[in-house]
Amino acid sequence: MLSINDLQGHKLQRLAHLVLGYITMAYVWGRGDDVRKVLPSNIAVPYCNISEKLGLPPILVYADCVLANWKKKDPSGYVNSDYIKSERSTCYLDQKGVSHWNMDILFSFPGGDCGKGFFLISLLVEIEAASAIKVIPTIFKAVQNQDRDTLQKALGDITSCLQRALEVFGQIHKYVDPRLFFTVLRIYLSGWKGNAKLPEGLLYEGVWDTPKMFAGGSAAQSSIFQCFDVLLGIQHSSDEASSAEFLQEMRTYMPPAHQKFLHSLESKCSVREFVLSEGDDNLQAIYNKCVDAMVSLRKYHLNIVAKYIVIQSKKTQSSEEPSEAVNKGTGGTDVMKFLKSVRDTTKASLLKKM
């Protein structure tokens, strides 16, 4: 029985959650059709203990496999995509492949460099988008002071960060093979909620008497894009796609500090209402550029999912995977339906010309 008693500090505890998440996913999914329905107590007990301490569910989440699963090969080298812009001839996002990057992941699933490319591109998108967080206090202060000039500049900064995130996102085609992603990596990221292979969930032996259902790792568990939804007043649909409900549920898969941050943003003054009330065409146009940057990211995400999941599912018709499951995301939703709903509600948030 593994013990978590000697894990002092947040970093070691997050590392333990990552390790136990990889072990769990490998155990459940690593034998093909022989899907394990019971997680042994010597893994389940410490996994649930560390999960409770961190406020995370006992499954591999986005905060594990993307945010915590990396290191710099050269500790003194570059890590973010400023390096891409300044040193394109030798940067780690070049034609040489992921083995030449100054970043590496800590733990891998089968599929060669596919997982490395997928997780590190996701991390670099996060880094670019997250660089906009520092201007959020400036935005709220500008709204309170009715300072349109400062607000316009801050919104422009966020737009630039989101545009750079989209540019980095485009690198995924170079480093992630669609066939390997669909047939290998995606399986290890799947959860046991809305999954036909584990219809009752997974039993955590020694912890609970009945199986539990948890969603697999999903980009919807990223706090950064929900952050900009809240900031810009983008309200997602509560129709049959239930995008708003799913996004709220995905917050419970984020670190508690991220959840609290999103909640704190919701209690602030409305940037959208201020822009509407000012009746300033230029301010409205800059606000719309910011929203449109979010639309572009979500359109691109749809294209990626079509390429890596929908098209690949059609190429693997001989697969024994249930037909209703092939187009599901790792979070357990009908991924195309969900992403189209989110894209459409984001687009609907663009302000009409006065």
Residue ranges of the binding site: 301
| Type of residue at 104 | D
Asked if residue 171 lies in contact with residue 300, where contact means CB atoms within 8 angstroms, the answer is no
Pairing mode of beta strands 38-39, 103-104: unpaired
Question: Rounded to whole angstroms, how far apart are CA atoms 162 and 236?
Answer: 19
CA 112 vs CA 32, 185, 277, 297, 316: distances in Å = 18, 10, 53, 27, 20
Write out the binding residues for heme b.
301
CA–CA separation, 346 vs 272, rounded Å? 13
Q: What angle do CA 130, 258, 337 make, to 5 degrees?
A: 80
Question: Which residue intervals of 98-147 are DSSP H helices?
Answer: 114-130, 136-144
* CA pair distance 178, 180, nearest whole angstrom: 6
Q: Are strands 71-72 and 103-104 parallel, antiparallel or unpaired?
A: antiparallel
Pick the closest to residue 165 from 142, 190, 189, 133 (CA basis): 133
In angstroms, the CA 296 to CA 139 distance is 22
Cβ neighbours around 260 below 10 Å, total: 11
215 CB-near residues (< 8 Å, 6+ apart): 59, 191, 193, 194, 249, 250, 253, 330, 331, 332
Distance CA 81, CA 160 (A): 13
